[in-house]
């Protein structure tokens, strides 16, 4: 393609994008196709001879577009938002056009320097502790853009693992892998499955901690689990707290978790705020970022809630040297003479890096912090509106605390009618939502995602949801439970008989259960595994340990008694264990830890 053709088709593509965005509501939000649809439409081999770009564009509209789920559609309420905006698209276009591979300062100075500047803008806009801002006086921290939150979690875990192994190893020449069996990480049942994946890849154990009825990690159980593991000779090295869980957008109490982590020097506290971390751009949401001063690392995805298109995920650490030393490799062919230029290849997994900072810079400049705040506040107001509509209808209930854009709701029936409702919603092609299990209940996740979402979108969606629900209730002659909306609200399981409504004849209508029914948005730590009763679950490489609160309590009491006895013996022998080796560490009560111990 020559430059004139590029100019011509480039303009056509921009026109196409404008048209697409303007008239997106004329398209179904999601296709109802079966896998393999595209194979039937495209040849099995690449063309030998060049084809005209016009033909390619036409095929794009006729063959590709019908298989697209429109994540930026006003009726897309699934998952979390896929951040997107025109400024971001334009920034990304320039990044693609430049096509630089910025692994080191020397390989693209502008990419390296803009990334540092934008990450500091971003950190300050979110009100993050100064320790994460690389240009703050005395800071040893900083941030880098990664491809995904999963990568951020993995990079943090690998760094924590390297630090813990280095401490255990001391000056010995023992191979690092010798220490792997003793390392143990912790995350809540509601944490994202990327934590489980990261521990699998890093060959370390993961202990899953139960969550309370609002989906927040039980800090008392975390504390007990760590204590038990320390007593058992394990090395707790990584704890993940989540701000904005995938299933119900619950916010873990970072302060309380941080206080526990501070008591064991080998623990690295990572805070995953993939979606909701961005909301800290609003001062009123910073009640949930309290405690971040305890964190060693924090991630949030501008490609979820900051109008920046995929891929862009921000990771900050309070000690860049620890991160770099965990990932540093320095072959001759990558070295350069500008030693004070930042080489972002040491901040993550890939060598090659796209110029991602450009799109984020475009977004910050064209919206301003105020514009981004307005956008998030609009999502919050609309989610509240939807919540209010659901709560006003006694046939439904809302299961989560609605703080941001996510509302988890269900009919006050058993799970099966709710499966049917979601199937109807998604099969209609007119709205798109996903399921989750929140606090042990099947819920339908309704997430406000569209950049320009309005109250009308919410009202329209609610009216359609209601009429679909009415149809299901009528056709299946279901009664609604009058139980209040409580975490333990009555639930009828699908195996229980449903009581027919008196006086109404059954209406025979076949409900199409689409394939999407089988799909479940269980992106948190494997719930199937969690729900299993067994205590040790093999995940294919190392045991995942599930906390049984009762057994844990008993173990804890036993371990505390043993510990007490050991301490007495140690004191009587006049020796002390200064390096804090596992058996001798005793965690203080959380209330014993002074907040001042947490520095910025
Ligand atoms: N963490 C949380 C809390 C999430 O909700 C998600 C995805 O929704 C992730 C991590 C994984 O994000 P990514 O797709 O960027 O890896």
Among 49-58, 469-478, 500-509, name the most confident range.
Answer: 49-58
Give residue-wise pLDDT tens across range 22-37: 999 999 999 988 899 9
Give residue-wise pLDDT tens across range 413-463: 999 999 999 999 999 999 999 999 887 789 999 999 999 999 999 999 999
Exposure of 41 in the CB half-sphere (CA atoms within 13 A): 14
Residue 113: give the domain boundaries.
100-328+340-354
Ligand 1 atom with least separation from CA of 245: 3
Residue 210 domain-assigned (yes or no): yes
In a 3-state reduction of DSSP, which class is residue 434?
strand
pLDDT of residue 500: 34
- Structural domains of the chain, count: 1
Q: In the structure encoding, which two tokens stand for residue 317, read together? A: 């650490």
pLDDT of residue 541: 42
Residue 235, pLDDT > 60, answer yes
Give residue-wise pLDDT tens across range 246-286: 999 999 999 999 999 999 999 999 999 999 999 999 999 99
Ligand 1 atom with least separation from CA of 153: 10
Residue 563, pLDDT > 70, answer no
Ligand 1 atom with least separation from CA of 79: 8
Q: What is the distance in A from the centroid of ligand 1 to the CA of 138?
A: 32
pLDDT of residue 479: 73
Residue 439 DSSP label = T
pLDDT of residue 521: 43
Residue 22 domain-assigned (yes or no): no
* Best probe residue, ligand 1, of 79, 149, 245 (max atoms within 8 Å of C-beta): 149
pLDDT of residue 329: 75
Long-range contact pairs involving 251-254 (C-beta distance under 8 Å, separation at least 24): 251/216, 251/276, 251/288, 251/403, 252/188, 252/216, 252/217, 253/216, 253/217, 253/219, 253/291, 254/289, 254/290, 254/291, 254/292, 254/294, 254/295
Residue 196 domain-assigned (yes or no): yes
Ligand 1 atom with least separation from CA of 242: 3
Residue 64, pLDDT > 90, answer yes
pLDDT of residue 525: 56
Give residue-wise pLDDT tens across range 106-147: 999 999 999 999 999 999 999 999 999 999 999 999 999 999
Query: Can you tell me the mean pLDDT for 51-59?
Result: 95
Residue 545, pLDDT > 90, answer no
Q: What is the distance in A from the centroid of ligand 1 to the CA of 150?
A: 6
* Best probe residue, ligand 1, of 71, 194, 525 (max atoms within 8 Å of C-beta): 194
Residue 243 domain-assigned (yes or no): yes
Ligand 1 atom with least separation from CA of 273: 3
What is the residue with the minimal CA distance to atom 5 of ligand 1?
246
Query: In this predicted structure, which of 147-161, 407-421, 470-484, 581-595 has the lowest mean pLDDT?
Result: 581-595
CATH of the domain at 127: 3.40.640.10
Residues flanking ligand 1, CB < 6 Å: 80, 148-150, 192, 194, 242, 244-246, 272, 274-275, 301, 313, 523
In a 3-state reduction of DSSP, which class is residue 46?
coil
Ligand 1 atom with least separation from CA of 80: 8
Residue 150 domain-assigned (yes or no): yes
* Best probe residue, ligand 1, of 78, 80, 150 (max atoms within 8 Å of C-beta): 150
Q: What is the distance in A from the centroid of ligand 1 to the CA of 306?
A: 14
Residue 48 DSSP label = S
Q: What is the distance in A from the centroid of ligand 1 to the CA of 64?
A: 26
pLDDT of residue 552: 59
Q: In the structure encoding, which two tokens stand for residue 442, read together? A: 């099947």
* Best probe residue, ligand 1, of 249, 306, 523 (max atoms within 8 Å of C-beta): 523
Q: What is the distance in A from the centroid of ligand 1 to the CA of 349?
A: 17
Percent of the chain past pLDDT 90, that is, above it, reads 73
Give residue-wise pLDDT tens across range 480-535: 776 544 444 434 333 333 333 333 333 334 333 343 443 344 345 555 545 543 44
Residue 219 domain-assigned (yes or no): yes
pTM score, whole prediction: 0.85
Q: What is the mean pLDDT of the chain?
A: 85
In a 3-state reduction of DSSP, which class is residue 25?
helix
Give residue-wise pLDDT tens across range 302-340: 999 999 999 999 999 999 999 999 988 777 766 677 778
pLDDT of residue 341: 83
Q: What is the distance in A from the centroid of ligand 1 to the CA of 511?
A: 33
Q: What is the distance in A from the centroid of ligand 1 to the CA of 417?
A: 28
pLDDT of residue 482: 62
Output 203 or 544, whichever has higher pLDDT. Answer: 203
Residue 574, pLDDT > 50, answer no
Ligand 1 atom with least separation from CA of 276: 3
Residue 294 domain-assigned (yes or no): yes
pLDDT of residue 562: 67
Q: What is the distance in A from the centroid of ligand 1 to the CA of 75?
A: 21
Residue 591, pLDDT > 50, answer no
Residue 475 domain-assigned (yes or no): no
Residue 445's beta-bridge partner residues?
A: 408, 434
Ligand 1 atom with least separation from CA of 150: 16
pLDDT of residue 573: 55
């Amino acid at each position: 393609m020559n430059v004139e053709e590029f100019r011509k088709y480039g303009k056509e593509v921009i026109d196409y994008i404008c048209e697409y965005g303007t008239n997106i509501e004329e398209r179904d939000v999601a296709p109802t196709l079966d896998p393999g649809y595209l194979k039937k439409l495209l040849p099995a081999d690449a063309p030998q001879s060049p084809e005209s770009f016009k033909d390619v564009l036409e095929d794009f509209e006729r063959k590709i577009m019908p298989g697209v789920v429109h994540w930026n559609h006003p009726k897309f309420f699934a998952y979390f938002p896929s951040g997107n905006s025109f400024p971001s698209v334009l920034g990304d276009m320039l990044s693609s056009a430049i096509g630089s591979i910025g692994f080191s300062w020397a390989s693209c100075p502008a990419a390296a320097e803009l990334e540092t500047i934008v990450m500091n803008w971003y950190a300050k806009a979110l009100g993050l502790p100064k320790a994460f801002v690389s240009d703050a006086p005395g800071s040893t921290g900083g941030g880098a853009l990664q491809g995904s939150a999963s990568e951020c979690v993995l990079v943090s875990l690998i760094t924590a693992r390297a630090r813990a192994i280095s401490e255990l190893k001391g000056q010995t020449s023992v191979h690092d892998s010798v220490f792997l069996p003793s390392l143990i990480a912790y995350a809540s049942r509601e944490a994202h499955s990327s934590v489980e994946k990261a521990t699998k890849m890093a060959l370390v154990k993961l202990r899953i901690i139960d969550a309370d009825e609002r989906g927040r990690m039980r800090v008392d159980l975390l504390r007990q689990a760590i204590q038990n593991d320390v007593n058992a000779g394990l090395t707790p090295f990584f704890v993940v707290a989540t701000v904005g869980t995938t299933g119900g957008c619950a916010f873990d109490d970072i302060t309380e978790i941080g206080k526990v982590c501070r008591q064991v020097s080998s623990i690295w506290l990572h805070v995953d705020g993939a979606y909701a971390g961005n909301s800290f751009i609003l001062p009123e949401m910073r009640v949930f970022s309290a405690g971040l001063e305890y964190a060693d690392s924090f991630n949030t995805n501008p490609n979820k809630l900051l109008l920046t298109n995929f891929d862009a995920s921000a990771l900050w650490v309070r000690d860049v040297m620890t991160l770099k030393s965990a990932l540093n490799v320095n072959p001759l062919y990558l070295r350069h003479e500008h030693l004070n230029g930042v080489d972002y290849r040491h901040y993550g997994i890939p060598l090659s890096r796209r110029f991602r900072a450009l799109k984020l810079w475009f977004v910050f400049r064209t919206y301003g912090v105020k514009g981004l705040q307005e956008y998030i506040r609009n999502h919050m107001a609309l989610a509240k509106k939807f919540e209010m509509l659901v709560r006003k209808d006694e046939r439904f209930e809302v299961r989560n605390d609605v703080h941001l854009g996510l509302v988890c709701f269900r009919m006050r029936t058993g799970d099966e009618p709710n499966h049917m409702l979601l199937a109807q919603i998604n099969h209609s092609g007119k709205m798109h939502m996903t399921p989750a299990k929140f606090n042990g209940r099947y819920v339908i996740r309704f997430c406000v995602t569209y950049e320009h979402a309005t109250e009308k979108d919410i009202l329209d969606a609610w009216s359609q949801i209601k009429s679909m629900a009415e149809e299901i209730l009528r056709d299946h002659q279901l009664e609604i439970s009058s139980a209040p909306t409580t975490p333990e609200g009555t639930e009828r399981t699908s195996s229980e008989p449903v009581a027919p409504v008196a006086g109404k004849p059954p209406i025979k209508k076949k409900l199409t259960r689409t394939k999407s029914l089988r799909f479940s948005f269980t992106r948190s730590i494997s719930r199937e595994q969690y729900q299993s009763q067994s205590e040790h679950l093999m995940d294919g490489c190392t045991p995942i340990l599930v906390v049984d609160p009762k057994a844990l309590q008993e173990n804890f009491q036993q371990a505390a008694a043993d510990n007490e006895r050991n301490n007495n013996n140690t004191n009587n022998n006049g020796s002390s264990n200064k390096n804090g080796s596992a058996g001798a560490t005793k965690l203080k009560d959380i209330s014993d830890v002074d907040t001042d111990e947490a520095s910025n």
